[in-house]
Structure 1
Amino acid sequence: MTVNVNRRLAALGPILLDMLAPVVSFYVLHFLFGVGPALALTAGAVVAGLRGVYRAISERRIDAFPLMMMVLLAVSVALVFLTGDPRLVLAKSAVTPIAGGVYGLVTSLFGRTVLYDVLTPFVTHGDAGLARRWDRAWDTDPAFVRCVKQLNVLWGIGFILGGTARIVVVYSVPLEIGVLAGLVPTVLMVGGLVLATWLRRRPLTAVLRPARPVPEVASAV
């Protein structure tokens, strides 16, 4: 169980680091050491990007998602120094959930949804029996598939709206406030989506219960 929890947290690590590192570096470097806002924000973003580079080198492979994040980082850092607008670092962090939301909506039309894959380790806990029931439900239970697809669309739309709201907030308030206030839409969005998923949990958890054996009817003598 602990191993599975650690894997889930590790999967969320790059996204959390991408969002939080610029915030921490801004307040520490800018307010404590007087570093300019553009450099203070960029420093945290670069630290988050270096983690992806280190992982790619150590594992000798580059996955699509970390590669996308590193490309976004390189583009945003270049634009910051070309335009002098440090808000681009914060806006870059909003592009990731927007792109993820669009990708999630697309998967609702083709094969298994991205939410199905995301939920799998959370609901099966690495148990082979639960994994078989979970997979079988997707192949044989229309109500289950419909529930997963509805939630997938909800998460996709939520991520797009949350990322867009983050950009609006960042560019609507002073930078010193926007660095932290830009996290609010993301926190509210994730909290609302988790609650919505929990409220719709019955069709998802029902398929994990073992089928009850059909009682044998004693033949009349």
Structure 2
Amino acid sequence: MSQSESRKQSESNGAGGGKQPNPLVQSLLPLVVDVGVPMASYYLLSDGFGLSEVAALAWSSVVPALRTVWSLVRRTGVNGLALLILVVNVVGLATSTVTGDPRLMLAKDSVTSSVIAISIIVSVYLGKPLMTAGLKPFATKGAPAGEAAWDRLAAGSVPFRRAERRFSLIWGIVLLTECVVKGIGAYTVPVHTMVWLGTVLTVVAILVAMVVGGGSCADPMEKMVKAEVERVAGTATGDAGAVTSAAPAAGAAG
């Protein structure tokens, strides 16, 4: 393939990639649904419609639960983590509703966060970091060449694999810390205050994980992927040039 043809193919891939969903939007949308919507719903139902704290908390949990169910239904396979989170939510909601304890309903969110955090940490030591699912599209930009470079680095680069594991470990530790703080706050801070404070803690935890994990892991991994793509492209160009220069020589010898 000539350089002009390679350039056209790259431009074509880039144009097609522009139609793909934005990874950042895909990552933030669940946050808006699972954090922002319940908080807004709680205050609307509590202050606007006069519902009790238990009722407002219960109804504000419906939207995240429906989103989890939808994410399970539209997948071809079963997402074990999403299913576990749904079960924890349903059991916690049912228990806290029966007991009529709004603080237990707030603590339920900490249990859910701890399930996610512990699962992420355990996945690192099992050699299958859970956060890789969101990290890989960011580092490869969804391009076939980038994904191939990722696979090569994951198979043969110790620094790359170390950064991949560290990224998930950072997220797991930050989320676990957040869940402990929220669990303490559920029983020490007024319920009406803890609803928005819990949201703030979640957003801060995610921002901290993004900054720390991005700077120490995601950005270096993205650069490694880019360098690997350029290395392979340069090798392919050199091989093509060698073949082209060898052809006239072979003709002259004939």
TM-score range relative to shorter protein: 0.7 to 0.9
Count residues with an aligned counterpart.
Answer: 215
The 5 Å alignment of 1:67-146 reads 67-146=83-162
Aligned-pair CA distance for 1:156: 1.2
Shift of 1:2: 4.7
2:221 maps to: 204
What runs of 5+ residues in structure 2 fail to find an aligned partner?
Answer: 1-17, 240-254
Q: Which has the larger radius of gyration?
A: 2
**Does the residue aligned with 1:205 lie in a helix, a strand or coil?**
helix
TM-score normalised by length of structure 1: 0.84
Structure 1 gap ranges (5+)? 217-221
Deviations 1:57-113 (A, max 9, x none): 566865323322321222122222222112333322222331122111112222332
Q: Say whether residues 1:40 and 2:76 are aligned partners.
A: no
Q: For residues 50 and 215 of structure 1, what CA distance do their matches in structure 2 show?
A: 54
1:151–1:94 distance in 2 versus 1, CA, 3 Å: same
**Does 1:174 find its partner at 2:190?**
yes
More helix by share: 2
Is contact 1:144–1:204 with CA below 8 Å preserved after alignment?
yes
> Residues 203 and 54 (structure 1 numbering): CA distance in 2 closer, same or farther, change over 3 Å?
closer
Which residue of structure 1 lines up, in the alignment, with residue 164 of structure 2? 148
Task: State the match for 1:219 in structure 2.
Answer: none
Would the aligned equivalents of 1:30 and 1:40 in 2 still touch at CA under 8 Å? yes
Query: 2: CA distance between counterparts of 1:172 and 1:182?
Result: 12
- Give the counterpart letter for 2:35 in structure 1: M
Residue identity matched to 1:91: A
RMSD: 2.6
Q: Percent sequence identity over matched residues?
A: 26
Q: Kindly indicate whether the alpha-carbon contact (under 8 Å) linking 1:46 and 1:73 is maintained by their aligned counterparts in 2.
A: no
After TM superposition, the score normalised by the length of structure 2 is 0.74
8 Å contact 1:26–1:40 — kept in the other structure? yes
- The separation in 2 between residues aligned to 1:27 and 1:83, in whole angstroms, is 22
Aligned partner of 2:43 in structure 1 is 27
Please say if 1:4 is aligned against 2:21.
Answer: yes
Q: CA deviation at 1:178?
A: 0.6
Give, in whole Å, the separation in 1 of the partners of 2:75 and 2:121. Answer: 30
- The Cα shift of 1:164 comes to 1.4
Q: For 1:3, what is the secondary structure of its paired residue?
A: coil
2:113–2:175 contact (8 Å) kept in structure 1: yes
Is the 1:49–1:69 Cα contact (8 Å) retained in structure 2?
no
In structure 2, what is the Cα distance between the partners aligned to 1:22 and 1:64? 23
Rounded to whole Å, the distance in 1 between the matches of 2:219 and 2:37 is 37
Q: CA deviation at 1:143?
A: 1.0
Q: C-alpha separation between the residues in 1 aligned to 2:238 and 2:107?
A: 60
Sort the Cα spacing of 1:58 and 1:127 in 2 relative to 1 into closer, same or farther, 3 A: closer
